[in-house]
Amino acid sequence: MKTPENGAEIVIVTAAYGYQAVKDLGGQTPLLKHIAEAGADGVEIRRELFTDGEVNDLKVLGEKIRQHGLFAFYSVPESLFLEDGKVNPSLESFLIEADSLDARKLKIALGAFVPGEDLTPLKVLLQQHAVELVVENDQTKNGVLHPMNAFFFAAESLHLPVAMTFDMANWLWVGQDALEAANTLREHVSYVHVKAAEQRNGKYHAVALDDSDGSWKPVLDALPRHAPRGIEFPLEGDDLTAVTRHYVELLRKEAKEA
């Protein structure tokens, strides 16, 4: 497995290639070649993009990831806490899937966290699995700064084995300042979703870094240098390896200059 000479490891989120592109390729497995040849260190596998073959044999997919010299993170489009404030009962299944994939991290949204809720059962469950749970700020009312900060304060108090996935652009969707959030939450961050966005017709859309206004740079600089960087902005073009390599090298250059 490749070790970066300087800065954090670079992870490619398969969703960056777009749902249709992944579908046309026949799943996420064919992307591993492009990701490895582009010089990335890891891949974030998305549960919502699984083909039947991939979801039915996660151990095989995990082995293919290792054969390409990559490590895996695993993302599920679910929330840690349901609307009633209780822990999602499917979490154990997601942890088992992450173990089968040999994933280092399991990413999930926060959901409706209620301060004061007993988190001891969650701690017991997480201690039974090797994968690290990382909670992301999403594009909902639960992904704003106050509940995220409250959750990590509670988790820290209980020594809960969780950390944060900091999505740099999602703060725009909820009308909050990403740099303020980075400065507030940075001590909890163990994974960064690198993403830029711009507003079109009153709605935000993710854009490639080269097509952005550059406001992502100070946000990234405010976050822990050791935290892996996940490329989640659009990776599009006729040569997927080349466009992926371009941004892997861009983020490596940013890390050296930071």
Structure confidence by residue, pLDDT tens digits, 94-132: 999 999 999 999 999 999 999 999 999 999 999 999 999
Of the pLDDT bands very low, low, confident and very high (cuts 50, 70, 90), residue 54 is confident
Q: What's the pTM value of the predicted model, to 2 decimals?
A: 0.95
Of the pLDDT bands very low, low, confident and very high (cuts 50, 70, 90), residue 5 is low
Query: Any idea where the domains of the chain sit in the sequence?
Result: 11-257
Q: What is the 3-state secondary structure (H, E, C) of 109-163?
A: EEECCCCCCCCHHHHHHHCCCCCEEEEECCCCHHHCHHHHHHHHHHHHHCCCCEE
Q: Would you say residue 86 has pLDDT above 60?
A: yes
Predicted local distance difference test score (pLDDT) of residue 258 = 67
Which of 61-65, 152-156, 199-203 has the lowest average pLDDT? 199-203
Query: Does domain 11-257 fall into CATH 3.30.930.10?
Result: no
Predicted local distance difference test score (pLDDT) of residue 198 = 94
- The string of pLDDT tens digits covering residues 145-171 is 999 999 999 999 999 999 999 999 999
Predicted local distance difference test score (pLDDT) of residue 257 = 76
How far from 186 is each of 139, 181, 190, 193, 223, CA to CA, in Å?
19, 8, 9, 13, 6
Predicted local distance difference test score (pLDDT) of residue 6 = 54
Helix (H, G, I), strand (E, B) or coil at 44: strand
